[in-house]
Structure 1
Amino acid sequence: MILLVIFSSLLCSAAARPSLKYLENPNSGENETEDPAEVRSAAIKRLLEVFGMEDPPAVHGHKQPPQYMLDLYNTVADVDGVTKDPYILEGNTVRSFFDKLRSEQVEFRFNMSTVSREEKILTAELHLFKLRPQATLAFNRHHFCQVSVYQVLDTSKTNSTQDKKLLSSRLIPVHSTGWEVFTITHAVRSWMVDEGSNMGLHVVVRTLGGSAVDMKLMRFASGRNHHQSKQPMLVLFTDDGRRPTRVESTDFDDNAATFNLPPSFMSGTSSRIARSVDYSEEEGMSAPCQRHPLYVDFEEIGWSGWIISPRGYNAYHCKGSCPFPLGQNMRPTNHATVQSIINALKLLRGVEAPCCVPDKLFSINLLYFDDDENVVLKQYNDMVAGSCGCH
């Protein structure tokens, strides 16, 4: 038990008090004259890894994201991108794809190449914007039509003679207007298994009696002739396996939470406050453990061209002392309380005071464009220090 206390104390001391020289240059021990540009590049590369990327997506100009994705983001995240409720979103990734055929007919094809094969496909939806029927047919005797969505099959790869497979079908009022959503999960899952099987989707509209319907009566917006806000869209909900086992993560991971970015990328308290804190520490009057601002500015990093929301977020950081005796306001663990007592009584040499670290970590959400101009909503775990405690 004594060895365990000493070992954990040494780890705590090393993690809680890295030198300023190390923060400026983590590899200073290896190369005292490392180029600041290389440090910046390495820091951004490390941050990209935190966000699950190898390179930042290419910037394609100011393209308007689908309103559905904007609304979804505002539903799951607050103004800083912090997750409101982890149970609102199915999985941790949502993607929107625009139709690549851009045909005037009811045929659609979506490029799914940006989806990793390791991701679990949860739900796939086809979003079609239904237009009002043309005025000349406004008084048609049909009030409802049967709209069916089929997966187009490659007959050369199957033993069946059928060239399409029914995915979803339901009745839709002829005179309605607005978005209609059809579940097409089975088709997308098959496309992920065999990318070459993606022959697209086909929509068939019939009367209640089963006869064909004039396309002027039941019309859907196409990618060619209508505004981008009404274009056919595939929305895909996936999970990449990083979903936490708990609503709040209480395990502090230095490697995951420390970005090692140059000071210009992050801003915390003002320099005046920082100087006063440093002065008080020199006088042995360190403030008690508490949470301090640590704003990550995506524009300063150079990511504002592809990140839609948020423009940045407050990660916060924990700083301060954990003096004996530890009060409940310090949110100490039993282990920290015991360690504090051992340290105060000097029962063992080398046992430091407990560390001030995050004891709650929350997720944030990013809404951004990927390399193929698809809009992605992705949730990242353990990105915000929700509160601090002595551990």
Structure 2
Amino acid sequence: EFAVEPELVLLDMQSVPAGQEGWLAFDVTSASNHWLVHPRSNLGIRLYVETEEGGAWIGLVGRRGPRSKQPFMVTFFRENQIPCRPPRAAKPHPRKRKPKYDLPVPNFKGYSENRGQPCKKHELYVSFSDLGWKDWVLAPTGYSAYYCDGECFYPLGACMNATNHALIQQVVHILKPDEVPKACCAPTKLSPISVLFYDDNNNVILKKHRNMVVKTCGCL
């Protein structure tokens, strides 16, 4: 019996001058996406280096090399957004779920307002190239930052993730619309991302930057 070597798929390729120093970033998104769906297909990544004449002559750092020069993978995942619907009148139910706030909600009979889209998270992809940062940011080339937008309706439903302060402000706004604004749609939870970049001394740095990605939105 003969062992059949798995078919190799070209993921990325770069031409590098002989005197270049620093890290090289390769896009292996297609392979990682395939591995998530078919884990058994993950047979690793092969790196092949050759000169213009076709001969391999460069040395590579192995697992026993210094940790500062070990290769690594940076991955980003896109979060699914659960749509948030505006609150609507419902019949009283003995097991009705209690809102996160335990303050009494005034009943403003006859009160109405122009309703648009409710406060929720929206797509926003930030390209570091568009920001003029491509010369010092190595990876990623961009990321999904998201943003919050929409109206905070009265009464503030559970899907609007409102604070007690927002509830009080919304009530006061109804009583004094010219003095107090409505509650604002803003991020209530954010997460970091890791960025590989050059510092002022041209050293390659991997740093986790806080509060870069909107996870949830709410009325504040």
TM-score, with length taken from structure 2: 0.49
TM-score, with length taken from structure 1: 0.29
Higher RCO structure (Cα 8 Å, ≥6 apart)? 1
Larger Rg: 1
Q: Which has the higher helix share?
A: 1
Q: Which has the higher strand share?
A: 1
